[in-house]
Amino acid sequence: MQSIREVVYIRATADAVWSALTNPDLTERYWGGMRIESDWRPGSKIRYHRSGQVTDEHAILEIERLRYVIHTFRPLVPEFMDESPSRVVLRIAAQGPVVRLSVRHEGFPPHSKVYLACRPGWPIILKGLKTLLESGVHVHDAGALA
């Protein structure tokens, strides 16, 4: 099966990175206007909202504040609805003055349309998050960083 692995080092605290991942007011600033909302508890849903519409709905499988979140990944837009959910693992590790944020997105079926969309997307999103936390620059259109 195909997988995506990305790592970014961010000059920030683990708390700041966690907040950027879980606070919808922050996700909207670097994730192309996407508000990511959840109560961030095991079994809870994570909903992605853009322009008032839910585009993705994932389920939290495991979570430990400031360290990691593991969740399903299932877009709700019509072109991806026929694929089974994949899985995302986000890990935060403080390393001196920086935080190592790693993403592993796995479990794509062969010829996955979701994989083809996410493969270029994850690096752009991580660059936007890094830019926001290190410089405060609002990156509403993360595609501008590509």
pLDDT at residue 144, rounded to an integer: 46
- Structural domain total, the chain: 1
Picking from 2, 18, 4, 16, the residue whose alpha carbon sits closest to that of residue 91 is 18
Instruction: Output the pTM of the full model.
Output: 0.91
* Domain region containing 68: 2-145
Per-residue pLDDT of 127-143, as tens digits, reads 999 999 999 887 655 44
Q: Residue 57 maps to which CATH number?
A: 3.30.530.20
Low-confidence spans in the chain with pLDDT less than 70: 139-146
pLDDT at residue 140, rounded to an integer: 57
C-alpha–C-alpha distance, residues 43 and 55, integer Å: 19
C-alpha–C-alpha distance, residues 89 and 139, integer Å: 23
